Structure 1
């Protein structure tokens, strides 16, 4: 009979499994009971007296020092550097020449444009007298001064009833036109300026030719203006007083002319041509100015800082502030809010921040663009004010509630109106009197 031993083993195995199951259930139950028993938080209560004193609300932020007088300047006409008059550390004044590029091509282009303008104005004068227009390609024409006594044109009838004898003088009054260059051309341009682009009441004038001649003068003048700007752009001058912070290239290198903010650098062997204004760095922080030559000037130093959206709503121009240098915590400067931006800047993975600009009050000669700072802005202040610890208040807005504790230990809820609110204390404008006790309840973890 071998069946009984097998049955006995099965019973023993099932009993062991049952014990294990009961132990597991009991352990889980114990964990649940212990977890539930530890869930209630411990609360601590204390009382605080309604006091009188100064309550100051502040807004904190961080940013960088910047100067509106800093400038990054670039050539507007590119070319090979022939002069670099300054080096880092040099003091310069507004209008001082800093560097030059080769201007040979620019001068030639200006001279040619002026010669074309002289020819265009002389041609206009001829058309206004009723004479045939000169071909546009012609570089020389009858000087404008000869227009006061027009010669007798062989191909058109005389429009003037009273006419001086015409036989012999042509040889002296109609010299062969020659191209005008140099100082003579410039003088001719000034003289030609008196020939205004105005129709002349002359029946022999061709209206279409007159319009075309006027257009040619306008185009020629525009070409002269452009050529002059190109020549002026070969010289780099200081737009402000300051100290040279950096120089982008040396004599013999090539620089790229630019009149637009461009962040990319130039090709190898050339100086970079970045923009002339300070841009925006990470998280909306101001970036240092950049350019072929960068000038710094601590005059009028400012702070560009970012604050939270809630704090930005509490700020306005004129509020006082203090600025502490990050690297020199003992250096505290007085400042004033200049502006609060309504355009948010978003930092990576952070909530929206709003830029605030502050003016530094006092000496700034030892400050430098880009220094990190922390700011404390006074958003509100009340002197000789009733106040309670902010932790004693419940609710939001100006209408809150507190728990007042009487002398006999009884407590009741009371409505109050609040004013200036700091991180620790809040002004009470109505609902409490000095000396009353309020309950503060804190929850311990």
Structure 2
């Protein structure tokens, strides 16, 4: 018997209800039932509340989190798919509880610095993504007039470097070009995200078998000097800017002072800067190499302080894998990137819980905050009307990472053989559980008004 669609007394039967005694809502962790209709969260009720649904799952003491939003992912396709690729990166993301990624414009060929390159990127991603995927545009010398076209085509913002990027086809901006990019971004009401290191403070070395030798080539002053330049450009133009992968805690007072002065600036850091430390990196262990580099334990503690007090806004992975052959045993020549998209949540939870922090803190830094940064306001939160991107997470599960079991393309990660606490159990994308053995359901996301 069919229900009369005009009978307002007919009971609503939802597609799925998920119950958890540890549901992470915007106002904290509490027992709740989340009812899903189609692709959206329709109702949030009490844990024991009877809600009619075609399917109900009781997660009991497994936490129910919003899907993570990772706005700093290097997929490298097209052109360098042998480094990673949309299929492998997004499968690993889903397994790690990440339901939305934003792909960086470099390391792919061509880099995403004009609309033709963006079209090539979208074509390469079509039908391959297990999670929803947005795209950054690139700001490089000489492409000022391309930024509006990229903006109109739906990129979520623009990335630039102030020091060499590691690939010749994506060169850095000098001071004048940085100011021009900021002015253009301000006129578009967009966002410029900046890899901020000052080349004047970077030191070349032909060989660095030890991490300490490599670390000395990229001192904290390289970050703080570049960040001061970014702040000056943002202040002069009114641009909204975001600092990528902050490693040097010495820059935190500069960021705070700029905000007090009205500069529209935000900052991120990454799980590796918050969970790893320079003192414990063996010689030749270049899986730990990234730029800016991992710093010491005192710096790591100061970054956690910056998260606690809001000077650092979000935590994203900067997932940047490469073939194993590029991770040579010499820190001077090895590729600088850490592969961790599947491990960000458990790595962060292992350290956060040790420091007395809670799951709502992680949701603010890894779900809601990144979504809001790029204007994806239906992502990263468990609220009515939001996309039903959800994660069942066992916060007490202890396990050991084995790189060969991870789903990104190459089994290289500094977390190999590390013991972590917390394990993703299931991930839902827009109301349906992600099955990486089935066809991918991820969509391509475009910039839209709030």
Q: Give TM-score, length-normalised by structure 2.
A: 0.16
Kindly indicate which of the two structures has a greater share of residues assigned to helix: 2
Higher RCO by CA contacts (8 Å cutoff, separation 6 or greater): 1
Q: Which has the higher strand share?
A: 1
Larger Rg: 1
